[in-house]
Chain A
Amino acid sequence: MTFDRIMVRFGELSTKGRNKMDFVRLLATNIRKKLADAFDGITLETRYDHIYVVLGSNPPESVIAALQDISGINSLSLVKKTAKDIDVIAAAALEIVRERTAETFKVKAKRGDKTFPIISDDINRIVADEILANTTLTVDVKNPDLIIGIEVREEGAYLFLDTFKGAGGYPLGSGGKVMMMISGGIDSPVASYLLMKRGMIVECIHFASPPYTSEGVIEKVRDLLLSLTHYQTTIRLHIVPFTKIQEAIFDHVDESYAVTVMRRMMYRISAKLAVKKRCQAIATGESVGQVASQTLKSMRVINEVTSLPVLRPLITYDKSEIIKIARLIKTYEISIRPFEDCCTIFRPRHPKTKPNFQATLEMEKGIDFEALIIEALENAEMTLISRQNAEVIAR
């Protein structure tokens, strides 16, 4: 194999101006963390425009696959680094072309280092002549079988053939931290994934109501988050005991308002925990109109309990679009495991789709919710979900 590195190209970072290097360094740290788990002897070369992953003896396909899950990467190419000398570049181009079977080609050079004496057009010509003279390939500029990419930079020249798509978005952590409400359904893992992709670190809160919900749900949430460790290597999960609050709602609140009040309680607890854990927002998998509590009118009444921003990445998504992403990130099969969660128990026959704000406040008057919320938070348990932890448990 003549390729020795992977060129990592950034996405929207290019628009970041003076902060750009901070983002690049964060991305490099994320890459280092992720690759250290699975590979030995990999080094990184961090430059202003690209990060180069030096492969060592690692299989390029696996490294590329691992990199494709990291947010903030626009695209990837396997590259060969050569000296900045046109003869060396031409010889290297010939070498990588000979490893492929193809009939037509095109050379596409980019001269990033303007001190290099030969302009892009001439690099194209010289390299093409070398290939035409030594192979049976012909040039096709419109629809070539192979495109030979060449980038000349200060430290050397890079040659590549294929470009792989990255996850896009921003480097994880560049967008701050959010407290995600996760139930075990299909939506919240997808919402988490989208937030991670956008650079936000996701910390999760799950409400457990034993015995109405089973131990199996918690297992399910852990497995869901374990799937998401592809995108964020360590995820914090807070499990909040919610039985007493749900029973209080059942006892004191009119059936049609039970869901509205329950959601308000979840928001209150999530917001409190979010502040404590230095999250700048809370997040949910809500999509407008999906169920009674997810009408705009409901959201308005529920949202009233907190002044924190509430991020709802799926707000305009159709269920089929959500499922498509869930399958892609391999959470769908876990989400459809049959367990009741805190949202499905005590489900009223006719929940309010347009709850009245005043009526909701009246309903809540009967109960000392503040004390129950404090108690729930005091008894919350935190676990770290990561590949390493999962292996320890499996052993």
Chain B
Amino acid sequence: MIYLDNAATTKPDRELLDVFTKIESEFFANPQSAHRAGLSAERYLVKARDMIADALHLDNHRVVFLSSATEANNLAIKGYALKHQNRGKHIIASNIEHPSVLEAFYQLRDHFGFEITILNVNRQGQIRLDDLRHALKATTILVSIMALNNEIGSLNPISEIAEIVHSASKAVLHVDTTQAIGKIVLPFGDIDLFVISGHKINGLKGSGALLVKKPIDLLPLLSGGNQEYGLRSSTVSVALAYTLALAVKKITKDLPAKVAHIAQLNSYLRSSLSLDEEVVINSPEKASPYIFNCSLKSKKASVVVEALSNEDIMISSSSACHAKAQKTSYVLKALGRDEALSANALRISFDNGSTIDEVATFLARLDEIIKRIRS
């Protein structure tokens, strides 16, 4: 199988699976327990937090272990907005954020009376810094901008955004870094709230973390035993937390060399497909090399994805037929693509283990399929 859908999820690292089994069988005790078994479990939890701080060069963030990036985004946005609504009820995001951000914003607007500003991105999929400056006001308490877009790979200038948000307002900056961890170097020290998803970085599904800069306080979404600094009640899985830390450590190691390798694959893909008359490339030139998005002019993306799947090549179409009607990508529409192109996108996303041969095979099969299928 050629697996090129790593933005959806990655294959778990074999070593992490072994570590998970080992910790879960030998250190299964509740880390909150006062007995010796509990204390040894807790040691792994502490070590996991330290490993994440080390790998990301953090010295002033709390690591809150939870289940997923979706949960982390929800906790960051709703937890902060609801806790600090007495300071102002205005929050800002971009129009190509992940649904776990946008839907949280809509919920705050529709059920809690928040005023929301949604910034439109430019053709490169980035917010305009001037728009951000103008949107900030005295009542703004939270800005949420993603680092690396999950559909097209576009990157936002997070350093500049952090600078603007912190100098021109009292708002905190939340960055959805789900796709960015281990793929770009970010100024984590300047970001107030950001997230990690285990399964996007060869870790395990069900593991994630929210990084909260001290002394920021949030309203917890779950009430209970006040685990994880009181921010996320429920017994933490020490084994999952530890595999998450290991995954972060592994993925951030030798980052420049890994990015250079993926950049080669991406440029091969881009240069080949730019010659194909059937293809319109959606990912901007300056996007992350890990995610490549293009649309088909006359063929149905869902059919091409199915045909590739029959040839044992897994990629993703951002279109999903919903009850026989096409569902279009809001991200591509935000870039100014028309309805048809937005409904017929292909997303190819790499893992550090992806090879140039895999890209070559993919390109060859794609070419055959495009020629073969009627539309």
Contact = CB atoms under 8 A, between A and B. Distances in A.
A325 B308 CA distance: 38
Contacts of B300: 212, 345
Contacts of B373: 211-212
B45 to A, nearest CB: 36
Nearest to B306: A211
B334 interface: no
Nearest to B320: A338
B306 to A, nearest CB: 4
Interface string B287-327: 00000000000001011101111100000000011111000
A340 B310 contact: no
Contacts of A156: none
Contact of B324 (A211, A215, A247, A338): A338
Could you say which interface size class chain A belongs to?
A: 10 to 19
- Main DSSP-derived SS at the A contact region: loop
B255 to A, nearest CB: 37
A40 interface: no
A251 B302 CA distance: 21
A339 interface: yes
A339 B321 contact: yes
A346 interface: yes
A340 B374 contact: no
Interface residues of B, number: 17
B55 interface: no
A214 interface: yes
Contact of B307 (A211, A246, A345): A211
Nearest to A344: B324
B374 A346 contact: yes
B221 interface: no
Contact of B310 (A210, A246, A344): A210
Interface string A306-338: 000000000000000000000000000000101
B370 to A, nearest CB: 12
A275 to B, nearest CB: 31
A340 B369 contact: no
A379 to B, nearest CB: 15
A338 B322 contact: yes
Contacts of A340: 302, 321, 324
A3 interface: no
A251 B309 CA distance: 24
A251 B306 CA distance: 21
Given A210-B310, A211-B307, A340-B302, A247 B321 contact: no
23 contacts: A211-B306, A211-B307, A211-B308, A211-B309, A211-B310, A211-B369, A211-B373, A212-B303, A213-B306, A214-B306, A214-B309, A215-B306, A215-B309, A246-B374, A247-B374, A251-B374, A336-B323, A338-B320, A338-B321, A338-B323, A338-B324, A340-B321, A345-B303
When A and B form their complex, which 10 residue pairs have the shortest distance between CB atoms, in order from nearest? Answer: A211-B307, A211-B306, A250-B374, A214-B306, A338-B322, A338-B321, A212-B303, A338-B323, A344-B324, A211-B303
Interface of A: 210-215, 246-247, 250-251, 336, 338-340, 344-346
